[in-house]
Structure 1
Amino acid sequence: MLSVETRHAVHPEHARTMGTAELRRHFLASDLFVEGEIRLVYTHYDRFTLGGAVPAGKVLVLDEVAETRTSTFLERREMGIVNIGAAGTVSAGGTDYALERGDVLYLGMGSGPVTFGGDGRFYITSAPAHRALPARLVRLSEANRMELGEDENSNRRTINQFIHPKVMESCQLVLGYTSFAPGSVWNTMPAHVHDRRMEAYLYFGLAEEARVLHLMGEPTETRHLVVGNEEGVLSPPWSIHSGAGTGRYTFIWAMAGDNVDYTDMDFVPASGLR
């Protein structure tokens, strides 16, 4: 079963007027992972698409998606898939890929239908592409690893870059995930914006009762979303994206836009936030 929800872009002046329910309706992606279903959110932020596929031991096929008006979803797109569950398989282009928890699979433009199987919980990201590039399965051991932060600032974390120029080539999709040391809860502080690229977060690995307070909005007009396990957040180019959790968590970040330069950020000091 396939379901697709469309999200339109929001002007920052409109976001300033939003209450909690409206903010959540536009920027929070919930209920992405449902057994036996593929659920997608098609956005008008660089036509980025995110979603989840949970085969639950059966077979799910992602092929034609009416919103793209193409014969197959990947006819003019590339895709990054992260397995956040148990072992599973993804098949595309005549090749079967076995994904363990934490593995990332890149599929290039023109890969055809994508089949999901096994017990995986597959997080799907996709962006338009301009040329076909080779598929690649990237294990955690092959990611580019960065250690940042300090215990005293509660932000010691490991950034693992998968779909990234230091690891492999893509058209515009950049993806990785960040995990925290025990006792650390803060992500992406000092905050930043990058007007040339949108970004999406998926928070996972939270305890059932745990939450992340995700900060968003213009630097001088900040807002927040309370986010639970396996929920996503859309971050427009004009918005900061930062947050802190009530317990340990991991978040997947994925970006699309004008470039693939991970360091293309305009930092905002904490003293400048309002």
Structure 2
Amino acid sequence: MRIRHESNPEDVKNYTTESLRNHFLIESLFKSDELSMVYSHYDRLIVGGTIPLKKTIKLDAGDILRTEFFLERREIGIVNIGSTGKITVDGKAYSLNKRDCLYIGLGNKEIIFHSNDLSDPAIFYFVSANAHKEYPTKVLAIKDAVPTKLGSDIESNNRTIYKYIHGEGIQSCQLMMGMTLLEPNNMWNTMPAHVHDRRSEIYLYFDMDEESRVFHFMGKPEETRHLLIKNQQAIISPPWSIHSGVGTKNYTFIWAMAGENYTFKDMDFIPIEDLR
């Protein structure tokens, strides 16, 4: 597991592009028959991924967490961004098609990832947060998630938001998680941008072709920066940072948040004229 420490926003003003990428961009999460994870000191979020191919993969952080098992003091949200697979939680199997979500609560000891078809494997993406209360393990299929339509073609941000883990969906201790799909010929994921100083957020961009890129904007509203992100890469957004992007084509992204506050609408929008 790789470790990412917090950065002072005053220091970030002086970061080079390489420094920004080293601190905030997660370039390689999905490897065949390996478990890849990054531990962020922003709200103690852990982000990870795996592609079970020739073997099943067990969720295990080694001695990094200094706990007996991964979810001893944590909860986790998992989304399958590949073909059909299953996740076994303490002996009970949960099947996930592409874009289905599984929430696993505090105290579950053994989590194992499987692919149904080794020639077309599942690709599991997950985000984990600290938890102090147990909530039931639950699957929410994309077909059963309630869509929220936002934006318009004229604004180039016609998109659908699916909220998986939140106050009115799958219940959790503090983790919130969902997915945003942009329609063809739409490229902006949100504008005006916003911050939420009470929680941090992580984006995973996917369903992009090899040549496509997202220009992801970050930084304090008066000191914005950008990073170029390609398919299946994630980026950590500190509480003080905007998080918005525009792609060379449409794309899909998974968002996950945790922190002080469990209210999805707790965000402070920044007028475009105040961005620099």
TM-score in terms of structure 1 length: 0.97
SS at match of 1:127: strand
SS at match of 1:151: coil
Matches within 5 A, 1:84-163: 84-118=81-115, 119-163=121-165
Runs of 4+ that moved beyond 6 A? none
Q: Is 1:208 aligned to 2:210, yes or no?
A: yes
Whether contact under 8 Å (2:217, 2:243) holds in the other structure is yes
1:172 corresponds to which residue? Answer: 174
State the alpha-carbon separation in 2 of the partners of residues 117 and 67 from structure 1. Answer: 24
Per-residue displacement from partner, 1:96-144 (whole Å, max 9, x unpaired)? 0111000000000011121001121000110000011100000112223
Q: Which amino acid aligns with 2:23?
A: H
Q: Is 1:16 aligned to 2:13, yes or no?
A: yes
State the alpha-carbon separation in 2 of the partners of residues 250 and 105 from structure 1. Answer: 18
Q: Which amino acid aligns with 2:64?
A: E
Whether contact under 8 Å (2:214, 2:230) holds in the other structure is yes
Whether contact under 8 Å (1:63, 1:112) holds in the other structure is no
State the alpha-carbon separation in 1 of the partners of residues 63 and 273 from structure 2. Answer: 46
Q: Percent identity?
A: 49
1:78 corresponds to which residue? Answer: 75
2:118 corresponds to which residue? Answer: none
Q: Which amino acid aligns with 2:53?
A: A
- Segment drifting more, 92-101 vs 36-45: 92-101
Deviation at 1:64, TM superposition (A): 4.3
Whether contact under 8 Å (2:184, 2:249) holds in the other structure is no
1:248 corresponds to which residue? Answer: 250
Q: Normalized per residue, which structure has more strand?
A: 1
Q: Which amino acid aligns with 1:53?
A: T
SS at match of 1:13: helix
1:182 corresponds to which residue? Answer: 184
State the alpha-carbon separation in 2 of the partners of residues 214 and 220 from structure 1. Answer: 16
Aligned Cα root-mean-square deviation (Å): 0.8
SS at match of 1:271: helix
Q: Is 1:60 aligned to 2:60, yes or no?
A: no
Per-residue displacement from partner, 1:27-78 (whole Å, max 9, x unpaired)? 0001100101000000101100001011114211113432211010100000
State the alpha-carbon separation in 1 of the partners of residues 93 and 264 from structure 2. Answer: 30
Deviation at 1:225, TM superposition (A): 0.7
Whether contact under 8 Å (1:148, 1:157) holds in the other structure is yes
SS at match of 1:240: coil
Whether contact under 8 Å (1:91, 1:114) holds in the other structure is yes
State the alpha-carbon separation in 2 of the partners of residues 64 and 251 from structure 1. Answer: 25
Q: How many residues align?
A: 271
Q: Which amino acid aligns with 1:233?
A: I
Unaligned runs of 5+ in 2: 116-120
- Change in Cα spacing, 1:5 to 1:64, as seen in structure 2 (3 Å) is closer
